[in-house]
Amino acid sequence: MTASLSFASVRAHLLARDEIAFLDVREEDPYAQAHPLWAANLPLSRIELDAWRRIPRRDTLIVLYGDHDGVDLAPLAAERLAALGYVRVHLLQGGLDGWRDAGGELFRDVNVPSKSFGELVEHERHTPSLSAQEVKALIDARADVVVLDARRFDEFQTMSIPTATSVPGAELVLRVRELAPDPATQVIVNCAGRTRSIIGTQSLVNAGIPNPVAALRNGTIGWKLAGQVLDHGASRPAPAPGFANRAAAQANAQDVARRAGVRTIGLDALASLEAPGRTVYRFDVRTPEEFEAGHLPGFASAPGGQLVQETDHHVPVRGARIVLADDDGVRAPMTASWLAQMGWEVYVVEAQPVSARSSRGATPADHAGAPPVAGITPAELADALHTPGDIAVIDVTTSANHAKRHIPGAWFAIRAQLAQALDVIPVARRYVLTCGSSLLARFAAVDLRALLAARGRDADVVVLEGGNAAWFAAGLPAETGWIRLATPTTDRYRRPYEGTDAPAEAMQAYLDWEFGLVAQLAADGTHHFNVI
- DSSP string computed for 439-451: HHHHHHHHHHHHH
Say which residues have a Cβ less than 8 Å from residue 80's Cβ, sequence separation at least 6.
Answer: 44, 47, 48
Distances (CA, A) of 260 to 204, 326, 339, 345, 530: 15, 18, 9, 11, 9
Asked if residues 186 and 211 have their Cβ atoms less than 8 Å apart, the reply is yes
Return d(Cα 215, Cα 41) in angstroms, integer: 30
- 179 and 225 co-located in one domain: yes
Residue 219 and residue 194 in one domain: yes
Q: Are residues 91 and 195 in the same domain?
A: no
Judged on CB neighbours under 10 Å (0-12, 13-18, 19+), 480 is exposed
The answer to whether residues 189 and 270 belong to one domain is no
123 lies in some domain? yes
Task: Centre a 10 Å sphere on the Cβ of residue 206 and count the other Cβ atoms it contains.
Answer: 24
Which CATH number is 416's domain given?
3.40.250.10
Asked whether residue 121 falls in the same domain as residue 228, the answer is: yes
Q: What is the pLDDT of residue 494?
A: 85
Q: Are residues 269 and 226 in the same domain?
A: no
**Residue 486, in any domain of the structure:** no
- Final residue before a domain boundary, out of 81, 110, 139: 110
Q: Which CA distances in Å does 458 have to 223, 420, 450, 451, 453?
A: 57, 18, 11, 11, 7
Residue where a domain stops, chosen among 57, 86, 110? 110
The reported pLDDT for the residue numbered 499 is 64
Strand partners, 72: 67
Q: Containing domain of residue 386, as a range?
A: 375-473
Q: Is residue 488 part of a domain?
A: no
User: Residue 497: inside a domain, yes or no?
Assistant: no
Q: Is there a domain that residue 387 lies in?
A: yes
**Domain stop point among 85, 110, 135:** 110
Closest to 526 in 3D by CA, of 5, 6, 16: 16
| Confidence at residue 500, expressed as pLDDT on a 0 to 100 scale | 63
Q: What is the pTM of this model?
A: 0.94
Q: Are residues 181 and 206 in the same domain?
A: yes
44 forms beta bridges with none
Say how far apart CA 377 and CA 329 lie, in whole Å: 50
Indicate whether 455 belongs to any domain: yes
Residue 379 neighbours by CB distance under 10 Å: 12
Axis-axis angle for helices 504-515, 112-125 (nearest 10): 70
- pLDDT values of the chain reduced to their tens digit, one per residue, 532 residues: 789 999 999 999 999 999 999 999 999 999 999 999 999 999 999 999 999 999 999 999 999 999 988 889 999 999 999 999 999 999 999 999 999 999 999 999 999 999 999 999 999 999 999 999 999 999 999 999 999 999 999 999 999 999 999 999 999 999 999 999 999 999 999 999 899 999 999 999 999 999 999 999 999 999 999 999 999 999 999 999 999 999 999 999 999 999 999 999 999 999 999 888 899 999 999 999 999 999 999 999 999 999 999 999 999 999 999 999 999 999 999 999 999 999 999 999 999 999 999 999 998 888 988 999 999 999 999 999 987 778 999 999 999 999 999 999 999 999 999 999 999 999 999 999 999 999 999 999 999 999 999 999 989 999 999 999 999 999 999 999 999 999 999 999 988 776 666 788 888 888 888 889 999 999 999 999 999 9
Q: List all residues 6 or more positions away from 116 whose beta carbon is below 8 Å from its beta carbon.
A: 37, 107, 517, 518, 520, 521, 527
Assigned domain for 525 exists: no
91 with 121, same domain: the answer is: no
Helical spans, DSSP H, in 108-227: 112-125, 132-140, 153-158, 172-179, 195-207, 219-225
**H-assigned helices in 180-218:** 195-207
Q: In angstroms, rounded to a whole number, what is the distance separating the alpha carbons of residues 227 and 434?
A: 43
> What whole-number distance in Å separates Cα of residue 522 and Cα of residue 75?
32
Cα distances (Å, whole numbers) of residue 20 to 41, 258, 356, 394, 416: 14, 27, 32, 36, 24
Distance CA 172, CA 26 (A): 35
124 within domain boundaries: yes
H or E segment at 523?
helix 517-524
DSSP single-letter state for residue 191? -
Residues 6+ apart with CB under 8 A from 58: 84, 85, 86, 87
Q: Are residues 232 and 267 in the same domain?
A: no
| Angstrom distance (rounded) from CA 138 to CA 146 | 10
Q: Number of structural domains, the chain?
A: 4
